[in-house]
Amino acid sequence: MTDDAPRVVILGAGLAGLSASLHLRRAGVAHRIVERAAHPGGLATTTEEIGYRFDHTGHLLHLRDPAMRELALSLLPTGSFLEIDRKSVVYSHGVYTRYPFQANTFGLPPEVIYECVLGFVKASSTKPETPPRNFEEFCLAHFGEGISRHFMIPYNSRLWGVHPRDITAEWCARFVPLPKLEDVIAGAVDHTTRELGYNTRFLYPRLGMGAFAEALAERALPVETSTAPKAISTRARTLTWEDGSATPYSELISSIPLPRLVELFDDAPSEVVSAAKSLRATSLYYLDVALNTPAGKPYHWVYVPEAKYPFYRVGCYSNFSAAMAPPGKGSLYIELVDRSPPDLPRLLPVVADALVEMGWIRAREAIRFARARFIEHAYVIFDDAHTPSVELIHDFLSKVGITSVGRYGVWGYSSMEDALIGGRTAAAKVIGQAP
């Protein structure tokens, strides 16, 4: 790399990296953006097989920032985005109930409704002596024993892969709706008048979330794919590549997983290395399922808390957009509880029978094919070591000209919009420092 080449480098071309590149390019700041995969987009990509289209499970745009909404809508031609009102439910005790469970118990067995409402009343009238130390205590304090036992504890155990007592509650402020007493009572007698949660309405590209990432990549600088550094010297501020060449940087924007970033450093302090090793995340295996028939239910996704099912969530791509499957067909994603590679010949009949029970298909034969997929870092685990470790690492990064962004760059729990905003903020930092 020559002395007059760009000295701002972006590692990772997911939404955060692409957003940073787009904003740097608009400001006329020279830079490079590299991606170790063969294509940009990160988890916001869409694959196609014989007319069926599959995202990496449910990736939706919940846009609250006006400027980010304007940007997103400008990337694709008019009419390419569908604006959708959420249709999500919970399946338990053999019935569907509205989401969120904690405010919608109507339809459940009477004894379950009684336990849930009574537990909430007791919890809301009792102030804990000390703040909740973990997510289990958070649930019991805010929802009571019934709601916690029938949904919050089992569902979150299945999603996170660890018991809620082993994670903190710091991740959930935006993402776990806290109903009022009137909401719980209304939801028990089928008199609900308002939707709860941050994701009540969302944007979705007609051809899948990959269409959005591709449009974003077209506005960013061309991505150098199948490219990643093998080492980073934070003292010399250089990136070393597989061929042995070195690239100096003045500012580095990284959206790669935080522990992986620290592993690249050849000179990180021991406390930073130790902090990175303490960071944990849950991996995810899921199934993309192509149906010979339309989906039997109109829902966008379903939460499944009961242990007898091998999955904790079922989503329907073709209910997001009919273009995600051939005419008269459907496409689903099934998020599995087991974190080991699935034995598909054994698992698929079990999944199919559960889908029949839930009304998604009429018979096993409705499944045309299924593909097992894997996400290495699905959910960051907020254990006791999380916050102090992340803060220590980010404090070190700020001193060596590195900004770490995106869901896995900040090592948090966030939305797609957060990734886009994080890239924009990182670019603004660089722009502010540009000569």
Q: What is the CATH number of the domain that holds 231?
A: 3.50.50.60
For the stretch 217-236, pLDDT in tens is 999 999 999 999 999 999 99
211 versus 177: the higher-pLDDT residue is 211
Q: Which two tokens stand for residue 23?
A: 């904003």
Least confident of 192-206, 278-292, 352-366: 192-206
Element (H, E) at 406: none
170 domain-assigned: yes
Contact between residue 105 and residue 116 where contact means Cβ atoms under 8 Å apart: yes
For the stretch 340-357, pLDDT in tens is 999 999 999 999 999 999
Tell whether 117 and 184 lie within a shared domain. Answer: yes
Q: Which two tokens stand for residue 211?
A: 């269409």
Rounded-to-integer distance, Cα 382 and Cα 414, Å: 13
Rounded-to-integer distance, Cα 131 and Cα 151, Å: 22
Rg over alpha carbons for the chain, rounded to the nearest Å, is: 23
Pick left, alpha or beta for residue 51 (phi over 0 → left; psi -120 to 50 → alpha; otherwise beta). Answer: left
Rounded-to-integer distance, Cα 412 and Cα 174, Å: 12
Tell whether 227 and 183 lie within a shared domain. Answer: no
Element (H, E) at 153: helix 153-160
The number of beta carbons lying within 10 Å of the beta carbon of residue 333 is: 21
Q: Which two tokens stand for residue 226?
A: 């199948």
pLDDT (0 to 100) of residue 195: 76
248: containing domain: 8-40+220-280+382-433
pLDDT (0 to 100) of residue 198: 66
96 domain-assigned: no
Element (H, E) at 285: strand 281-291
pLDDT (0 to 100) of residue 171: 79
Tell whether 105 and 175 lie within a shared domain. Answer: yes
20 domain-assigned: yes
172 domain-assigned: yes
151 domain-assigned: yes
> How distant, in Å, are the alpha carbons of 41, 67, 78, 214 from that of 81?
18, 17, 7, 14
Rounded-to-integer distance, Cα 356 and Cα 360, Å: 6
- φ and ψ at residue 91, rounded to 5 degrees: -115, 115
Tell whether 226 and 183 lie within a shared domain. Answer: no
State what percent of residues in the chain have pLDDT above 90: 88
14 domain-assigned: yes
Residue reference for tokens 């904790």: 312
pLDDT (0 to 100) of residue 91: 98
pLDDT band at 3 (very low <50, low <70, confident <90, very high): very low
133 domain-assigned: yes
> How distant, in Å, are the alpha carbons of 66, 186, 216, 420 from that of 75?
15, 41, 7, 13
Contact between residue 111 and residue 120 where contact means Cβ atoms under 8 Å apart: no
pLDDT of 216 over the 50 cut: yes
DSSP 305-360: --TTSSEEEEEEHHHH-GGGS-TT-EEEEEEES--SPP-HHHHHHHHHHHHHHHTS
Q: What is the CATH number of the domain that holds 105?
A: 1.10.3110
Tell whether 256 and 393 lie within a shared domain. Answer: yes
pLDDT (0 to 100) of residue 435: 42
Contact between residue 99 and residue 90 where contact means Cβ atoms under 8 Å apart: yes
Contact between residue 332 and residue 317 where contact means Cβ atoms under 8 Å apart: yes
For the stretch 315-338, pLDDT in tens is 999 999 999 999 999 999 999 999
Helices (H) and strands (E) in the chain, counts: 13, 18
Tell whether 35 and 106 lie within a shared domain. Answer: no
Tell whether 105 and 184 lie within a shared domain. Answer: yes
Tell whether 124 and 183 lie within a shared domain. Answer: yes
As to burial, measured by CB atoms within 10 angstroms (0-12 exposed, 13-18 middle, 19+ buried), residue 144 is buried
Query: If you average pLDDT over residues 256-278, what whole number do you get?
Result: 97
pLDDT of 391 over the 70 cut: yes
Count up the domains in the chain and report the number: 2
Rounded-to-integer distance, Cα 427 and Cα 9, Å: 11
Least confident of 35-44, 103-112, 128-137, 145-154: 128-137
For the stretch 274-308, pLDDT in tens is 999 999 999 999 999 999 999 999 999 999 999 99
Q: Which two tokens stand for residue 105?
A: 């118990």
pLDDT of 188 over the 50 cut: yes
- φ and ψ at residue 113, rounded to 5 degrees: -60, -45
pLDDT (0 to 100) of residue 48: 97
C-beta pairs of 154-158 under 8 Å, 24+ apart in sequence: 154/305, 154/306, 154/307, 155/101, 155/303, 155/304, 155/305, 155/312, 158/304, 158/305, 158/307, 158/312, 158/337
pLDDT (0 to 100) of residue 194: 73
Tell whether 30 and 143 lie within a shared domain. Answer: no
Rounded-to-integer distance, Cα 15 and Cα 33, Å: 12
pLDDT of 406 over the 50 cut: yes
pLDDT (0 to 100) of residue 197: 64
337 domain-assigned: no
Tell whether 260 and 184 lie within a shared domain. Answer: no
What average pLDDT is seen over the chain? 94
Rounded-to-integer distance, Cα 104 and Cα 117, Å: 10
Residue reference for tokens 């939801």: 187
pLDDT (0 to 100) of residue 196: 72
Query: If you average pLDDT over residues 77-100, what whole number do you get?
Result: 95
Tell whether 268 and 401 lie within a shared domain. Answer: yes
Rounded-to-integer distance, Cα 244 and Cα 379, Å: 34
pLDDT (0 to 100) of residue 6: 64
Element (H, E) at 69: helix 66-75
Tell whether 113 and 157 lie within a shared domain. Answer: yes
Query: If you average pLDDT over residues 90-114, what whole number do you get?
Result: 96
For the stretch 41-80, pLDDT in tens is 999 999 999 999 999 999 999 999 999 999 999 999 999 9
pLDDT of 399 over the 90 cut: yes
